[in-house]
Structure 1
Amino acid sequence: MHLPFPGRRHKKNGDDGGAPETGAPPARARAGGGKPPADPDAVAELLSECELLRSQAARAGVRLDHTPASLEALDQMVPRWRDDPETLPWLGHDAGLYLGTVVVRTVPGAVWQIRSAGEPVVRLASGRAVEVVPAGQEWAANGAPELSQLYAEIAET
């Protein structure tokens, strides 16, 4: 619902306030389909948090430093989370995001992309989209495929 307010809006973050007399959205919003463009660095930072995975790894003495070696260390952790049905899907989600973070930080041309349904995927320079969250969930539930193996396969393409 659009509720017009009298007077001009204050300029904020480069927003010219649109045309309040007509109710038209700012030019930036019109050009982007109604959404301002996402900052790729901010998206990458947000997706790299993986708080639950980091706490589990820290308890196991594993340092998550965004390297392929840290994926190997995660593969060696004892999967105590499998006994907790509430933790398992969240840990798997974090594992997928962490795998994606390592790929984005170490594979040239790899970037995060958020699909229209809000699903984060890693887009490789080749154009291939890698669905890392389902891969992380599979790893958390079954231990296979290993995160380090997935990374190796992704990095090859």
Structure 2
Amino acid sequence: MHIPFLDRWRKRQVADRDESLAQAFAEEPEAVAELLSECELLRSQAAGAGLELDDSPASLEALDQLPPRWRDDPELLPWIGNDAGLYLGTVVVRTVPGAAWHVWPGGHPVVRLASGREIHVVEAGLDWAMTGAPELSHVYAEASEG
């Protein structure tokens, strides 16, 4: 059933949430960085496979080796991809000198390197979850080179 006012309401809710993230980042970047690093679903899936995510580059390599069972669940797939991107960003921010989270005004989180280059980690995570490429460890390696 198509109810036009619900479509408009949903779009407004998403826009409000995204703007709220950008506003929160402007006011408390450390708190938002902590929120972005939670990646609870990905951590749970990894733990179920016997992998502990310790925010290290080695854990990205281990994630790349996991059998992609989430691809069998179309509802789970985008959430795993989102978490994978945020986890990738967390590892980069915590281990690459000068890397930091940046949230665009629309609420889109990216990692900004010391060189000024931005890595669209959520898109990289979604691509990884759907196809396995690029591998998270390769995105990290490129980021660590600057």
Q: Distance in 1 between matches of 2:25 and 2:87?
A: 26
User: Among residues 61, 83, 90, which one is paired with 1:72 in the alignment?
Assistant: 61
- The residue that corresponds to 2:116 in the other structure is 127
Question: Is residue 156 from structure 1 mapped to residue 145 from structure 2 by the alignment?
Answer: yes
Q: For the pair shown, which has the larger CA radius of gyration, 1 or 2?
A: 1
CA offsets per residue over residues 104-128 of structure 1, 9 Å max, x none?
A: 0000011101101100000111111
Cα RMSD for the two superposed structures = 1.4
Matched, 1:105 2:94: yes
> Alignment identity in percent?
70
Q: Where does structure 1 lack aligned partners over 5 or more consecutive residues? A: 1-33
TM-score (norm 1): 0.76
Q: Return the alpha-carbon distance in structure 1 between the equivalents of residues 47 and 89 of structure 2.
A: 19
Mind listing any 5+ residue stretches in structure 2 that lack a counterpart?
1-22
Q: Runs ≥4 in structure 1, deviation > 2 angstroms? A: 34-38
Aligned residues: 124
Correspondence 1:90-101 to 2 at 5 A: 90-101=79-90
Distance 1:65 1:35 in 2: 26
Identify which range, 34-43 or 58-67, moves more after superposition.
Answer: 34-43
